Amino acid sequence: MRLDKYLKVSRLIKRRTVANEVTSAGRVFINDKVAKPSTEVKEGDVLRLEYFNKTLIAKILRVPTGNVSIQESKELYEITDEISKTQEKE
């Protein structure tokens, strides 16, 4: 599954166009490499999303074959770390 679609289906980012913009801006990394929107994701990959005021690190547990419910979307990934910009400056 494409990265931008995975971000939308997993609800890490609400809309696919926003996911596409964020990945195109170089703020999403897969296994510490800058990822493009079309990059294929697989189970076990580690995502790092750099938001405006925080960095979110998540491990992909499952890649769905289609759309999933809101309850199921939380089972697709595991958040391993969340760093706010104020913590980085300390």
Q: For the chain, how many structural domains are there in total?
A: 1
Average model confidence (pLDDT) across the chain: 90
Domain containing 20 — which CATH number? 3.10.290.10
Mean pLDDT within 5-25: 92
Half-sphere exposure of 76 (CA within 13 A, CB side): 24
- Look up the domain containing 8 and give its range: 3-89
Q: What is the dihedral of CA 46, 87, 8, 23, to 10 degrees?
A: -70
Distance CA 51, CA 25 (A): 11
> pLDDT, tens digit, for every residue of 55-83?
999 999 999 987 799 899 999 999 998 88
Assessment of whether the complete model's pTM goes beyond 0.85: yes
- Listed in order, strand segments (DSSP E) in 36-76 are 46-50, 54-60
